[in-house]
Amino acid sequence: MDLLQLKYFRVVARVENVTRAAEELHIAQPSLSKTIARLEESLGVPLFERKGKRIRLNQFGKTFLKRVNRSFQELEEGQRELAELSGFERGSITVGATTSRLLPSLLSEYLTNHPQVKFRLFQVIPSGRITKSAFERRYRSLYFHLAH
């Protein structure tokens, strides 16, 4: 079983027609049918009830589809997490601070560990109407990322 088989399985389950699923996936219908058959063989159970050109999930297929959907959700979440993390490994980070005296030591350590990152620095002068805690909430991501 591989991810491609599972992707194809999801489309066939949604479309309920192998020919239309093959068209949507831009593959030949016989190739899709063989892929689904191999998946069923590897699982040891049929996943679909076939009636002419109509194909519907049976109880095994419905149960398996729930797990497959959860698996894909986890993989997508993992991709999002990696994309977020990689944003701090390369690219640029804009930094605004009320004082710059701590920045050199914080940024030099960060840059030593993340040489692909470029920083844009600017000094923020909060007006008398903004409290320190409100300022920190507004720029929380800055404080969080520089503190780690």
The answer to whether residue 124 scores a pLDDT higher than 70 is no
Answer yes or no: are the C-beta atoms of 31 and 22 closer than 8 Å. Answer: yes
- Cα(6)–Cα(39) distance, rounded to whole angstroms? 8
**Could you tell me if 64 and 128 lie in one domain?**
no
Total domain count for the chain? 2
**Could you tell me if 48 and 116 lie in one domain?**
no
pLDDT mean across residues, the chain: 81
Query: Which is higher by pLDDT, 133 or 17?
Result: 17
Answer yes or no: are the C-beta atoms of 136 and 143 closer than 8 Å. Answer: yes
**Could you tell me if 110 and 63 lie in one domain?**
no
**Could you tell me if 21 and 51 lie in one domain?**
yes
What does the pLDDT read at residue 52? Answer: 80
Query: Which is higher by pLDDT, 127 or 115?
Result: 115
Cβ density class 15-24: b for 16+ within 10 Å, e for less = bebbeebbee
- Cα(138)–Cα(134) distance, rounded to whole angstroms? 6
**Could you tell me if 12 and 79 lie in one domain?**
yes
Q: Which domain holds residue 24?
A: 3-84
**Could you tell me if 70 and 111 lie in one domain?**
no
**Could you tell me if 15 and 58 lie in one domain?**
yes
**Could you tell me if 12 and 65 lie in one domain?**
yes
Cβ density class 30-63: b for 16+ within 10 Å, e for less = eebbebbeebbeeeeeebbeeeeeebebeeebee
Q: Give me the percent of the chain exceeding a pLDDT of 70.
A: 74
- Cα(44)–Cα(9) distance, rounded to whole angstroms? 15
**Could you tell me if 137 and 116 lie in one domain?**
yes
In one-letter notation, the amino acid at residue 52 is G
The tens digit of pLDDT for each residue in 54-105 reads 899 999 999 999 999 999 999 999 988 887 777 655 566 777 776 667 777 7
The answer to whether residue 128 scores a pLDDT higher than 60 is no
What does the pLDDT read at residue 5? Answer: 96
Confidence of residue 130 (pLDDT cuts 50, 70, 90): low
**Could you tell me if 98 and 79 lie in one domain?**
no
